[in-house]
Structure 1
C-alpha cells in the first residue's frame, strides 16, 4: 500500500497515541511468569506485542482479551510453562524473540523460535553467546540467525555479564534467564538503556563507580502486572518533530510515557529550541507519564554522540528530519546500531534525504546534516524499506514539501502505530 502525503497548511489537534510497545511486551511476559491473575489496560494494538501474546499462549498461558485494549493473564509461574506443540512465531518482533529466548533458556522448556523474513535476517549472536554460557543449547541457522531451537540439559548457571553495548533487549534476555537460577546472575551496565524490565520486575539494583549492577535469581518474586500501559513516547516523537518544524502547529499528546531512559529525544528537541510543554505529571504502575504539547519552533543544530544514542535510538530517523530545519550543521555519531534494525536505517535515511534534496553526508556510524529553517523538501516518492519508523519519518517530511509526496509500503506503520495515517489526517483537517 502506498500513501500520498499532502503538504499541510496547519497541524492542530489532540491525539490519543498508541500504547507503549516495549512495556506491552514485557507486561504480557512477566504476567505469565507471575503466580496469579494480572489485568493489563491499554495493551498495544500493534502487531509486535500480539506476537508476544500468541507465543505465550503456545506456552500454555491463558490470556483473554476483554475489549477496550484490556487483557487478563492467568500467570503460571516460573515452572508452569508448557512445551509448545509448534514453533513460537515471533513475527517481525525482535523484542519478542530476544526476551522470550531468555525465558525459554531459563525455564528449560524446549522450543523453536521463528520469525518473518526481516527478523530472520537479524543476527541473534548477542543473545546466543551469554545464554550458551548459562547452559542453554541453541541451534541457530548459520550459527547466528533464527530459527532458534533452544533447550537445556542441566540447571541454568549464574552469569556475571558486563553489557558489551547499551541494549535493553540483551540486558533483559540475560536477566530473564537469570530469574530461573538458584544463584544470582549479574548484568553490569555502563551506558544506560531502557530500564522497563528492572522497573516492572522490581529487580535489585546497585550503583557503583558510574556502573549499574542489576541482579536476578529464583529468589526474586515476580510481581503482579496490573496497571495501565502508558502511551508510547516513540510515537509521540513523530508529532513533536512535526509540530516543531511546521510554521502553523499546536499539538497535544496526553498520558505519554516519560521514563527517563526513553525520553532522550525530548531532551534533544528541547536543546534544539523546540517549544514543548510537559504537564499533568503522574505515574502508571512503575512508569512516569505526562501530557506533552508542542508548537512551531525555531530550531538550532545539535550533536548526538555515542553516549546519547541508546536513549534515542528509535527516534533518530525522525530527529534527522528535525535537523533538516535547524539553523546550521547537526551531527549524529556512534549510531552504527541503526544498521541492524528492521532495515539498515542509516542507508534508508540517506536515501530519504537524497530524494528530498537535502545537504548531508552519510558515515558508517551516523550522518552530518546541513539544516535550513527554510528548507523545502523536493516532492518525491520515499521508500519505507518496509520499516515503520522510516515510513513515519518520511510522512512527517512530506508534510513540509511544496507538493504531494508518496510513501511506499506504508502499511508497515501498523508494526508500532496502527492509527498513524488516521492521526495524520486528524491533524491536517
Structure 2
C-alpha cells in the first residue's frame, strides 16, 4: 500500500489516543504467566499485540475478548509443548517469549520477515539463556531460533544492555518462576532504562518482587514466585501519539489528544517536553494534550535514549525548526525494524531535509520555509519511519508518496484514519 500525503496547512479536532502497545504486551504476558483468569481493559490492537495474542494461545493460554475487555486464563510456568512460534515482525514479542520458551522442551521461532526482524540480532539474550542451562540453535544470533528448554536454572546471569533493554525485561519476567533465586547483572550501558521501569511496574502490579539497584545494573529475583491473576487497565500510547503531536506542531492546528496520562512512566511522554522546548503552544492537563500549532519552531538538543520510540517523530518536527537540532545517545535506533538512523535520514534527504548522522546522533539543520517533497520514498517496513515521514509530507510543498505504508499497522493500524479525521489530506492506494 502507498500513502500519498498531500500538503496540509491546518489540522483541527480531537483524538482518543491509541492504547499502549508496550503495556498491552507486558500485561498480556503477566496474565499468561499467572494461574487463573486476568482481565485487561482497553488492550491495544496492532500487529505486535496481535502477535502476542496468537503466540500466547499457541503456548496454552485461553483468551476471550469482547469490546474493551480481554480475559486471559494463564498457563503459569507450564506452557504447552508447542513446536513452532511465529511472532511475525514483532521484536519485543520474540524476545519476551524466548525466555518463556525455555520452559518448553523444543520450540522454533520461525523467520517470516527476513528483510526486517530476520536481520535483527538476539545474541545477548541467547547468551544469557545459555547460561541458564538452555540449549539454543540459531543463525548467527538471528532467526530462525530453536530453543531446547524444559529445565532452565537460576543463579548468576549476565546480560548485555548495549543493544536493547528487551533482553533484560525478558529475563525479569521469567526468572521469578524458576526454582532457584537469580541475580541478573547488566553489562555495558543499559539502553532505554525508562522501558525497564515499565517492566518493573507491571511485575509489581502482578505481585512479583524484584530488588533493583538504583542504576538498574543489578537485580535480585527470588525464585518460586507466582504471578497474581487480576485486572489491568491499559493507558494511552505515547509513542504513536508522538507522531500526531508532531503533525499538529508543524501545521496551524487546534488538536486535542485524550488518554495521555501526565504521570505515565512511558519514556515517550518526553515528546511533550521536546515540543514545548521547540516553542509549540500546548497544554497537558487532565490526560489531554492540547496543541495549538502556529508552524513556528525552534531547534532543540535532547538525549533520545529516554524516549526512543518518539525520536523519529521529533526529528520530523525539527526538520522545520529554526536552527540546528541534535538528538544524541540514540544508537539503539540502528537495531530496530530497520536502521532508523541511516535508513530514515536517507529518506528525509530525498524529501529535501538537511540532516546528518553520527553513530549515535541525528543532527537536523532546520528549514522553517519547508521542504520540497514531490518524491516517492521507502518506508523500510518500519511503522515509526512511516509515521514520521508522513509528518514531513504534511509540511512539504509537493507532498510525499510513502511506499509500503501498510506496515504502520504494526503498532498503529488507525494512524492514517486518525490523521485524516483532523484534516490531513492523505490517499491510500
TM-score relative to the length of structure 1? 0.89
Q: Deviations over 1:16-38 (max 9, x none)?
A: 22211111111111101111111
* Structure 1 residue 417 corresponds to structure 2 residue 412: yes
Pairing partner for 2:242 from 237, 253, 264: 237
Q: 2:256 corresponds to which residue?
A: 252
Matches within 5 A, 1:192-271: 192-194=193-195, 195-202=197-204, 203-206=208-211, 208=213, 210-211=215-216, 213-246=218-251, 248-256=252-260, 258-271=264-277
Cα pair distance change 1:219/1:270, threshold 3 Å: farther
Pairing partner for 2:375 from 348, 356, 380: 380
Q: 1:284 corresponds to which residue?
A: none
* Structure 1 residue 294 corresponds to structure 2 residue 291: yes
Q: Deviations over 1:92-145 (max 9, x none)?
A: 00011100011122x244321124222221111021011111221111123x11
Cα pair distance change 1:252/1:145, threshold 3 Å: same
**Which gives a bigger RCO, structure 1 or 2 (Cα 8 Å, sep 6+)?**
2
Q: CA deviation at 1:155?
A: 4.4
Q: CA deviation at 1:47?
A: 0.9
Cα pair distance change 1:264/1:415, threshold 3 Å: same
Cα RMSD after superposing both structures? 2.2
Q: 2:139 corresponds to which residue?
A: 141
Conservation of the 8 A alpha-carbon contact between 1:81 and 1:109:
no
* Structure 1 residue 354 corresponds to structure 2 residue 349: yes
* Structure 1 residue 96 corresponds to structure 2 residue 101: no
Cα pair distance change 1:391/1:173, threshold 3 Å: same
Paired residue secondary structure (2:54): helix
Cα pair distance change 1:210/1:218, threshold 3 Å: closer
Pairing partner for 1:156 from 153, 157, 179: 153
Q: 1:71 corresponds to which residue?
A: 70
Q: Deviations over 1:175-220 (max 9, x none)?
A: 1231222333234567523122211111445565644644333343
Q: Deviations over 1:293-338 (max 9, x none)?
A: 212153221223xxx3332211121111111122111122332222
Structure 1, gaps ≥5 residues long: 281-289
Cα pair distance change 1:213/1:263, threshold 3 Å: farther
Distance in 2 (CA, whole Å) between partners of 1:70 and 1:111 is 30
- 125-134 vs 259-268, which moves further: 259-268
Cα pair distance change 1:255/1:115, threshold 3 Å: farther
Distance in 2 (CA, whole Å) between partners of 1:237 and 1:103 is 31
Q: 1:26 corresponds to which residue?
A: 26
Conservation of the 8 A alpha-carbon contact between 2:101 and 2:149:
no
Q: 2:327 corresponds to which residue?
A: 332
Paired residue secondary structure (1:102): helix
Distance in 1 (CA, whole Å) between partners of 2:152 and 2:405 is 46
TM-score relative to the length of structure 2? 0.89
Structure 2, gaps ≥5 residues long: 425-429
Paired residue secondary structure (1:332): strand
- 258-267 vs 122-131, which moves further: 258-267
Cα pair distance change 1:193/1:135, threshold 3 Å: farther
* Structure 1 residue 275 corresponds to structure 2 residue 281: yes
Distance in 2 (CA, whole Å) between partners of 1:29 and 1:214 is 20
Distance in 2 (CA, whole Å) between partners of 1:206 and 1:275 is 41
Q: 2:362 corresponds to which residue?
A: 367
